[in-house]
Amino acid sequence: MSVRIAIVDDKIFLAKAVAEKLSFFEDFKLKFIAAHGADLLTKLDENSNIDLILMDIEMPVLNGIEATALVKQKYPQIKIIMLTVFDNDEHIFNAIKAGADGYLLKETSPDILEKGIRETLSGGAAMNPSIAMRTLKLLRNPESISNLQEREEISLSSREVEVLEQLSKGLSYTKIAENLFLSPSTVRKHIENIYKKLQVNSKIEAVEKARQNNII
């Protein structure tokens, strides 16, 4: 019985490289390649007879993590393996939280990819050893998960990050305004927004919390 697979990747040459790995196995049938999450959802609306999706993470329009959550809501029977170059804790945690069934790196060999696909279709969770270790570490250390969740909730604009970086150097509002070509009142407004978003009441708290969450 054939395994119907879709690839989602905005870089066509990488998608084709994955397709080539799949071509080694006769029962793997590539149904389509989607350029991003939104393209995938459109194609699934036309034909959802897919067993498994190999999903990239960083893509325009709709990224792989957002797309995974939406696919799992609408088509819970479809298995999803993240196939990406990213092996950091945040991406792994967010992918699993979104409902991903497995997480493999793009450098994975055809044999390991095949094994991962079959394992996932049998109810397992395909993971490279390094990813499995990171996942175990996350599960054993609940504090690191809460830090990731907190970081996810803090969303500063690029301008606010610039202001915060200047603030961390101990510069006055006037000096920050000069350096960033802003008026002092605009800087003050940015700092008010930063305090609100970080849920702090002072410059020292703001800088400390930003550093804890790797914002600056």
Answer for the pair 29, 4: CB distance below 8 angstroms, yes or no: yes
Fold of 3-140: Rossmann fold (3.40.50)
Tens-place pLDDT, residues 109-120: 999 999 999 999
163-180 per-residue burial string, b: 16 or more CB within 10 A, e: under 16: bbbbbbeebebeebbeee
Q: Does residue 144 carry a pLDDT above 80?
A: no
**CATH 1.10.10.10 occupies which residues in the chain?**
154-212
- List, as own/partner pairs, every contact residues 38-42 make where C-beta atoms lie below 8 angstroms and the sequence separation is at least 24, other chains included: 38/62, 38/67, 39/8, 40/6, 40/8, 40/67, 40/71, 41/67, 41/70, 41/71, 41/74
Fold of 154-212: Arc Repressor Mutant, subunit A (1.10.10)
Question: Which is more confidently placed, 123 or 204?
Answer: 123
Q: What share of the chain is helix, strand, coil (3-state, %, to 5)?
A: 55, 15, 30
**CATH 3.40.50.2300 occupies which residues in the chain?**
3-140
Q: How far apart are CA 186 and CA 206, in angstroms?
A: 18
Residue 115 tokens, joined = 């094994």
Measuring CA to CA, which residue among 55, 92, 103 is closest to residue 75?
A: 55
Please tell me the predicted confidence (pLDDT) of residue 71. Answer: 97
How much of the chain, in percent, has pLDDT values that exceed 90?
60
Q: Read off the DSSP letter of residue 127.
A: B
Q: Does residue 192 carry a pLDDT above 80?
A: yes
